[in-house]
C-alpha cells in the first residue's frame, strides 16, 4: 500500500489533505475518530477514482491519434511522454507495446523488434499479449524473416487469435494473419482474408494496407491494371504510413 502511495502523486496529495483535515476535525471539533476514518477513506477513494478517470481519458486520447486521426508521429510523441512519466512497470510494458504498434505503421520495424525483445510479458493481460505477438509477427513478415515468423505463428497463434472487445486490435491481428498467408505463399487464402477485411472495416488504417496487399497479389497474377488501381488507392492515403509510400514506389515501376 505504501509503495503504491509513493508511486502516485494524486494519492500523496489526497492523503496529505486528508491527514490535515483529520487533525483539524479531531483537535478542533472533537469529532469521533470512526467518522474521521470514514472521511479519510472516502477522500482516498475519490482521489483514486480521479486518477483512474484521468488515466483512462489520457489513454483514449493517445489511442485516438492513431485509430481516428491517423497521426502516427504525434501518437509516438505522446506515447513517449507517458513512458517517461510512468513508474509502474506493468504500465510501462503496455505503453512500449503500443509504441511498437506506432513504429509498425511508420515502418520502423527494426526498432519495433528491439522494443518488443526488451519486454518481459510475464503478467501481461491477454489483450496486450495479443497485441505483443501481433506486432512481433508483423515485424518479422515485413523484415522478410519468414522462418522466424513461421515459428512465432506456430507457437503463439492462440495468443494472436484470442477474441477481445477491441475492434481495431482484432482487425489489426486479422490483417497480420492475412499478410502471413501472403508471405508464406497462400495467395488465395490471403486474398479471401483481405477482401473480408474490406467488407468489415473502412477505416483508413485498414484500407491503406489492405489495398496494397491486394494490389501486390493482382500484380503477381498478371492483372496489371487491377493491381495499379488498388495500389493507387493505397498511395492516396499520404505519407503517415510507410506502406502508402511503398505503394507509390511500386506504382512508378508499373
Q: Write the pLDDT tens digit of every residue in 146-158.
A: 999 999 999 999 9
Selection from 105, 103, 100, 106 nearest residue 133 by Cα: 100
Confidence grade of residue 82 (pLDDT, cut at 50, 70, 90): confident
CA distances from 212 to 218, 234, 251 (A): 10, 6, 11
Cell numbers placing 138 = 508483423
Burial class of 22 by CB neighbour count within 10 A (0 to 12, 13 to 18, 19+): middle
CATH 1.25.40 residue window(s) in the chain? 163-254
Map residue 171 onto helix, strand or coil.
Answer: helix
Of 227 and 254, the structure prediction assigns the larger pLDDT to 227
- At 1 the pLDDT is 36
Average pLDDT over residues 54-71: 60
pLDDT score recorded for residue 6? 37
pLDDT at 163: 85
Q: Is the pLDDT assigned to residue 164 strictly greater than 50?
A: yes
Higher pLDDT, 8 or 83: 83
Counted residue by residue, the chain has a size of 254
C-alpha cell at 15: 492523503
Question: Residue 106 has what pLDDT?
Answer: 86
Per DSSP, helices labelled H in the chain are 2-6, 9-24, 33-67, 72-85, 89-106, 109-117, 126-142, 146-161, 167-183, 187-200, 204-220, 224-235, 242-251
pLDDT for 67 equals: 61
* pLDDT of amino acid 122: 87
Could you tell me which of 60, 100, 110, 57 has the C-alpha nearest to residue 80?
100
Looking at the structure, give the CATH architecture of the domain made up of residues 163-254.
Alpha Horseshoe (1.25)
- pLDDT value, residue 177: 97
- In angstroms, what CA-CA distances link 115 with 42, 101, 120? 40, 10, 11
Amino acid at each position: 500500500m505504501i509503495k503504491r502511495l509513493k508511486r502516485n502523486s494524486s494519492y500523496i496529495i489526497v492523503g496529505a489533505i486528508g491527514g490535515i483535515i483529520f487533525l483539524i476535525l479531531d483537535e478542533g471539533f472533537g469529532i469521533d475518530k470512526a467518522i474521521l476514518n470514514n472521511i479519510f477513506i472516502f477522500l482516498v477513494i475519490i482521489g483514486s477514482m480521479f486518477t483512474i478517470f484521468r488515466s483512462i481519458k489520457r489513454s483514449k486520447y493517445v489511442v485516438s491519434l492513431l485509430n481516428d486521426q491517423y497521426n502516427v508521429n504525434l501518437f509516438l510523441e505522446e506515447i513517449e511522454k507517458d513512458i517517461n512519466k510512468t513508474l509502474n512497470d506493468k504500465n510501462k510494458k503496455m505503453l512500449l507495446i503500443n509504441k511498437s504498434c506506432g513504429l509498425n505503421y511508420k515502418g520502423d520495424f527494426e526498432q519495433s523488434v528491439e522494443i518488443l525483445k526488451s519486454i518481459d510479458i510475464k503478467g501481461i493481460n491477454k489483450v496486450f499479449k495479443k497485441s505483443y505477438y501481433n506486432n512481433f509477427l508483423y515485424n518479422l513478415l515485413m523484415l522478410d524473416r519468414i522462418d522466424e515468423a513461421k515459428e512465432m505463428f506456430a507457437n503463439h497463434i492462440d495468443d494472436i487469435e484470442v477474441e477481445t472487445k477491441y475492434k481495431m486490435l482484432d482487425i489489426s491481428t486479422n490483417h497480420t494473419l492475412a499478410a502471413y498467408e501472403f508471405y508464406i505463399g497462400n495467395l488465395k487464402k490471403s486474398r479471401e482474408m483481405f477482401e473480408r477485411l474490406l467488407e468489415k472495416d473502412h477505416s483508413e488504417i485498414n484500407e491503406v494496407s489492405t489495398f496494397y496487399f491486394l494490389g501486390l497479389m493482382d500484380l503477381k497474377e498478371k492483372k496489371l491494371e487491377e493491381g495499379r488501381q488498388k495500389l493507387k488507392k493505397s498511395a492516396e492515403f499520404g505519407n503517415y504510413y510507410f506502406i502508402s509510400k511503398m505503394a507509390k514506389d511500386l506504382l512508378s515501376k508499373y
